[in-house]
A = this chain, B = another copy of it.
Amino acid sequence: MTDLKSANNPLFLREEELRQAIELLFFAYREFTAGPDQILKDYNFGRAHHRVIHFVGRNEGIIVSELLDILRITKQSLNRVLSNLIERGFIEQRQGEEDRRQRCLYLTEKGRKLEQELSRVQRDLVGHAFREAGADAVAGYRKVLLGLIDEDIRDTVLKRVLKP
């Protein structure tokens, strides 16, 4: 009865609980990206394009450096997908009014439609999970995920997420 794995050992339970939580996040995130991935294929876009469309959609007029800051990728990486999105008419740039070095980014009509299409599948998925789980569970979900985000940047992220 001194089995390490026994229910009497809280340390083991804790570790196992955490391992399960980690695995759950892996599987959930994969499901979460599967829908958009499928749609993006039809447009010959990838996940990187989705991220740009998402954050431009939620931050109309965002400038390139802010976008880089959110995505945490190099400008060379961003530029590949961004210029692609601009060429193909999903995003447009306007010169900054105060600082004319800046490029402010906006979704075009076409871009907005794609954003809607991508967002829709994710909202349907999350909405379904939320309804199934109930309001208390949703509050818990938010609390835990927020806790996963580094304290140093939590406020910044919160401001972004809750911006609109």
Contact = CB atoms under 8 A, between A and B. Distances in A.
Contact of A21 (B16, B130, B132): B130
A137 interface: yes
A119 B16 CA distance: 11
Copies in the complex: 2
A161 B15 contact: no
Contact of A141 (B54, B140, B162): B140
B58 A149 contact: no
Contact of A144 (B51, B72, B138): B138
A132 B119 CA distance: 30
A126 interface: yes
A13 to B, nearest CB: 12
A31 interface: yes
Given A137-B140, A140-B140, A150-B31, A145 B24 contact: yes
Contacts of A164: 16, 19
A20 interface: yes
Interface residues of A, number: 54
Interface string A50-65: 0100100010000000
Contact of A24 (B15, B16, B161): B161
A147 B133 contact: yes
Interface of A: 14-16, 18-32, 51, 54, 58, 72, 119, 122-123, 125-130, 132-134, 136-150, 157, 160-162, 164
22 contacts: A16-B164, A18-B122, A20-B161, A20-B162, A21-B138, A23-B58, A23-B160, A24-B142, A24-B145, A32-B148, A129-B144, A129-B148, A130-B144, A132-B143, A133-B144, A136-B140, A137-B141, A138-B140, A138-B144, A139-B140, A140-B140, A141-B144
